[in-house]
Structure 1
Amino acid sequence: MARKAAALAPATAARKRKGGWASLPSDLTLLVAWRVLGADVVDYIAFRGACSGWRACTPSPRDPTLRNYWLRPRRWVALCGGDAVRPDDAGEITFLHTRTARCLRGRRLHRRLLVLLHKRDTTVRVLHPFTRAAVDLPPPVYHEVVRNRNSLLDMRAAVCAASATSIAVVVWFPWTPGVLCAVPFRHGWEVIHKEMKLGNTLPFQGRLYGFVRFSRQVVQVYPPNPPAGPLVAHVPDEFGNPFMWHCQYYLVEYGTHMLLVVRHGNVKREGTEPWQRSAFAMFRVDISDRWRLLPVTNLGDQALFLREDRCLSVSAKDLPSISSNSVYFSAPPPDNVIWHSLNDKSFERPTMFCKVHNLKERIRPSVRPFTIADHLLTYCSHREW
């Protein structure tokens, strides 16, 4: 029996070596990979790091072109430290997943795809914060549109789809006319809109949409020159005057839809503060039917965070401290964060403003702990970084 057991031992070891992930049909392995990626690329990376068998039979998540949507960070937002310390000075940055409330801290990270601007030579880098894959682009500062180097401090940027295998980086400057675009491995930056001034914008399904500043027009910014023209939607005239400070327009990615939100004045409302006399109108933009605006009166379990830089839609089921069917927006200090319930039309200040920096130096420590609402609304305004 001992001799027989010894003879069977190598065969048993061989069967073990042939088992595991490598023994599965490739299409089944691919199906599992897609299921893991469907949640988030970080789960895919962690699975590869923890399981050598899985790592050996699945492709790397490091996409050098950054074009694959499924390999990008999704639903991750960067959190400001709150003490007026910029991420490149702190040497690290914390990311929050708005679906799971999971936090990850990246070290030696200057700043979802991230568009970085080098302080000295103004070169542009698009960086994946979790795989460290990067695409470099030439500096836009020497372009004729960027006449003032200081305007780079206000530069906005979005990553769009240039083709099936390449990204495009679109940049603009809120108070300077002109929109620039660069594609990796092509020469320099191209002016795609010379006289356009943009307000709130939204990267959506590989394209970039935005409001023309001081107008009711929603335009397709990238790709430029669409066959039907750049104008895709128009805010109804009855909702405020775009030249008034209390009238603001926003675009939000709402699930698989684009949501147009109007904040406007309401003379019928009473209140001692200007924001107490605000009202909101919301429309789902039907991109499949001539860009019709379909009124929305209830957000369900969702909450919107609205700032001019960018906007967010998150689920109160995933983040219990956030109120459902509500809007969070900003007002001038000391009323920095305002919460508005769409159920009873009430307003509330969930937090109080505390100035920690006078634009030259830190003058006092921050008041902690910060709320999730603080963090998400700060993320929507890059100037607060």
Structure 2
Amino acid sequence: MPPLLAPASRSPWASLPEDLVRLVSWRLLAGDLTDYVRLRAVCTNWRSATMSPCGRGVIDPRFHPRRWMMFAEGHGLYPGHERLCEHTRFLNLDSGFFVRVRLPLFKDHCVLDSVEGLLLLQRDEDTAIRLHHPFTGDIVELPPLASHNLHMSHPYANLPQLRPISASVSIDAGVVRVMVIFIHLMYAAVATSQDTKWTYLMHWRLPSHYGPLSFRGEQYLVHETMNIENTYLSQIFQLEAHSQDPPKLIVTFPREKLCYPVYLVECDTEILVVGHNDISLTHLAVYKLADVVLDRFIPVKSIGDKAIFVGGRNLCVSSKALPTIVGDTIVYRHPREQHFMQYCLNTSSWSLATDECSTM
């Protein structure tokens, strides 16, 4: 019998060159943060060859948990409920994996928004704002929400009007900059991790909009307007978190291409524009925003195994994530049918998205 191998020599994997381990780790990180964490847990050598996300979870965008969302427990078990014992579950929208994380902050914080997988939290007692990475525990402190109240025409007692927001994040040399859109007030404010108060952008006002989409440090708004011929048009505006410039009009949809309502959703690193292509609301059309900005109105014929949910918070979910998800479909509450419908892009056909029991 040959002698037993020493632990370090049982597998050649532990002795891989550090630069090769780092190359593999960055490619894994391009897919999902948890795959990167699993690689670092394989052995001491691999862990020492790769960068720890802890301490960098917020300031390094590579470590943002983009395709994870907080999972609704139901049965009245909101985040912070005593029966959850300070734990909260997160769902991966691509794989369907669940991660259970201990988040004691929910004892006295509420969630204002989620951006790039990070949680924008507000502390109850003093409106302190924090950007929190749920997996690494990293926190970036921002000025309290009340700090910009002196610049507003709305009284501080009207705080619930400030909480419905859409946030975007940009990072430069370790400095985090956040722009928030106050949806009910049609204004925006910006602050960095080095500021003591929010800068309230009063020199311009947001166009009326619905369903803002935050994407890579920018926000996109859909605005309905009417031309001189009394025909409604859909316009898309862009705001940049690192700028204080007013919203920039980037595209106007002709009525024959898309008509109200129009939705924006991120899918496979692209922004898709979803809406009806006729006033009878019979069919849906999907375009890539990058195409229509270049005046190329090329309909997207398939989204593969993904399903898009629009209305409220717009999401793109893989059919691999949950068994009830049907790929290549769009699900939303149809304005004419007044219940959730499912539109198949491949066949251009409608079906019920839920059974009768699910809507009770």
Common fold, TM-score beyond 0.5?
A: yes
Following TM superposition, by how much is the alpha carbon of 1:259 offset from its aligned partner in structure 2, in angstroms? Answer: 0.9
2:305 pairs with one of 290, 301, 306:
301
Encode CA deviations 1:116-156: one digit per residue, 9 max, x unaligned: 11122111111111111111111123423364212134x22
Q: Does 1:149 align with 2:159?
A: yes
1:326 pairs with one of 314, 329, 334:
329
Moved more, 106-115 or 291-300: 291-300
Percent identity over the alignment?
28
* C-alpha contact 2:251 2:292 (8 A) present in aligned 1: no
Cα 1:288–1:250 shift into 2, 3 Å: closer
Following TM superposition, by how much is the alpha carbon of 1:161 offset from its aligned partner in structure 2, in angstroms? Answer: 1.6
What TM-score results when the alignment is normalised by the length of structure 2? Answer: 0.77
2:253 pairs with one of 225, 229, 235:
235
Q: Which of structures 1 and 2 has the bigger CA Rg? A: 1
Q: How does 1:39-188 map to 2 (within 5 A)?
A: 39-64=31-56, 66-89=58-81, 90=84, 91-109=86-104, 110=106, 112-143=117-148, 144-145=151-152, 147=155, 148-153=158-163, 155-188=164-197
Q: Which whole-Å CA distance do the structure 1 matches of 2:334 and 2:78 have between them?
A: 23
Following TM superposition, by how much is the alpha carbon of 1:16 offset from its aligned partner in structure 2, in angstroms? Answer: 5.6
What TM-score results when the alignment is normalised by the length of structure 1? Answer: 0.73
Encode CA deviations 1:172-210: one digit per residue, 9 max, x unaligned: 222212111111112321234641144222222332222
Aligned AA (1:163): D
Q: Which whole-Å CA distance do the structure 1 matches of 2:318 and 2:7 have between them?
A: 49
Long gaps (5+) in structure 2: 112-116, 226-232
Paired residues in the alignment total: 327
Encode CA deviations 1:234-279: one digit per residue, 9 max, x unaligned: 12234676xxxxx322111121322111247743xxxxxxxxx554
Following TM superposition, by how much is the alpha carbon of 1:212 offset from its aligned partner in structure 2, in angstroms? Answer: 3.7
Aligned AA (1:53): N
How large is the Cα RMSD of the aligned pairs?
Answer: 3.4
* C-alpha contact 1:99 1:319 (8 A) present in aligned 2: no
Q: Does 1:211 align with 2:211?
A: no
Q: 1:379 corresponds to which residue?
A: none
* C-alpha contact 2:166 2:214 (8 A) present in aligned 1: no
Cα 1:20–1:259 shift into 2, 3 Å: closer
Encode CA deviations 1:293-339: one digit per residue, 9 max, x unaligned: 4322433332211023x31223335544211221111369x966432
Q: Does 1:202 align with 2:206?
A: no
Long gaps (5+) in structure 1: 242-246, 268-276, 356-366, 368-385
Aligned AA (1:107): R
Q: Does 1:249 align with 2:262?
A: yes
Q: 1:220 corresponds to which residue?
A: 238
* C-alpha contact 2:142 2:196 (8 A) present in aligned 1: no
Q: Which whole-Å CA distance do the structure 2 matches of 1:186 and 1:353 have between them?
A: 51
Q: Which whole-Å CA distance do the structure 1 matches of 2:296 and 2:177 have between them?
A: 28
Greater relative CO (CA pairs within 8 A, separation 6+): 1
Q: Give the 3-state SS of the residue equivalent to 2:20 in structure 1.
A: helix
Q: 2:114 corresponds to which residue?
A: none
Q: Give the 3-state SS of the residue equivalent to 1:114 in structure 2.
A: strand
Q: Does 1:316 align with 2:319?
A: yes
Q: Does 1:285 align with 2:296?
A: no
Q: 2:228 corresponds to which residue?
A: none
Q: Give the 3-state SS of the residue equivalent to 1:286 in structure 2.
A: helix
Q: Which whole-Å CA distance do the structure 1 matches of 2:274 and 2:292 have between them?
A: 19
Q: Which whole-Å CA distance do the structure 2 matches of 1:318 and 1:211 have between them?
A: 29
Cα 1:81–1:331 shift into 2, 3 Å: farther
* C-alpha contact 1:217 1:234 (8 A) present in aligned 2: yes
Cα 1:78–1:48 shift into 2, 3 Å: same
